[in-house]
Structure 1
């Protein structure tokens, strides 16, 4: 989906909020898995408009470092205030994760991660993070 706009059709008012820790080994209800996957109220969500470095397992040390930074930044962004989850043309991926664009004030949180160099725009192709 190359060329997707940064502003998506989001609700007029963001209504969702939670306290997001980094996921641990226990049950996952509301927590951040990595830079593009998190749990919210028992539902696993894959951010639809971005791809971030892999952590399980990373292919190189540079990918691990950037992946950990993306995970922490997503946690901080989700914890920064109310947000919305916007469904796209596909409800779930092949792993059963809900595909959603995360927005705040109508702007994609994924675009923030892209602008900060912690994510690539998802165009259907994984790109490497190793030099």
Structure 2
């Protein structure tokens, strides 16, 4: 009888022992690394994007969720100025090139927002609203700032840059 009892627990031990070892490594990382390093090494650093909507280009007086231009949106009835970058003007461009690039930046932001879930984060500079009453927020997906993507594609410049570089 005793031999059968040990055989019955053998399959459970094959699962339980490796699981216990993995749990020990996962929940008790080595003390010579920071928590951020341990998390990155394990590969569990994930950003959960919770916002999602369809963004048309804004038109007409009723604006709930839409893209105004390359750095301004309406989302759920709130007008939001995306921070950290500037895009060419579309409503009052200084030249034909600015108008063209402004339209491209607007369409690209629309595409980025409509690709899937995203996050809206507080302005790292602390201000909640600009002088026009727009909420100042950062928009990102998977931890990547969408404004940085526009800058990288030549459709925007970092905030505080050289000014209107499009004309």
Return the structure number with greater relative CO, CA threshold 8 A, min gap 6. 1
Unaligned segments of structure 2, at least 5 residues:
1-45
Asked if residue 126 in structure 1 is aligned to residue 163 in structure 2, the reply is: yes
TM-score by length of 2: 0.69
Alpha-carbon displacement from aligned partner over 1:34-82 (angstroms, at most 9, x marks no partner): 0000000000011101100011210000000000000000000000010
TM-score by length of 1: 0.87
Structure holding more helix per residue: 2
Shift of 1:127: 2.9
Q: Give distance in 1, aligned partners of 2:75 and 2:159.
A: 21
* CA RMSD, 1 decimal: 1.4
* Aligned match for 2:86, one of 48, 51, 55: 51
Unaligned segments of structure 1, at least 5 residues:
1-10
Structure holding more strand per residue: 1
Moved over 6 A (4+): none
Point out the structure with max Rg over C-alpha.
2
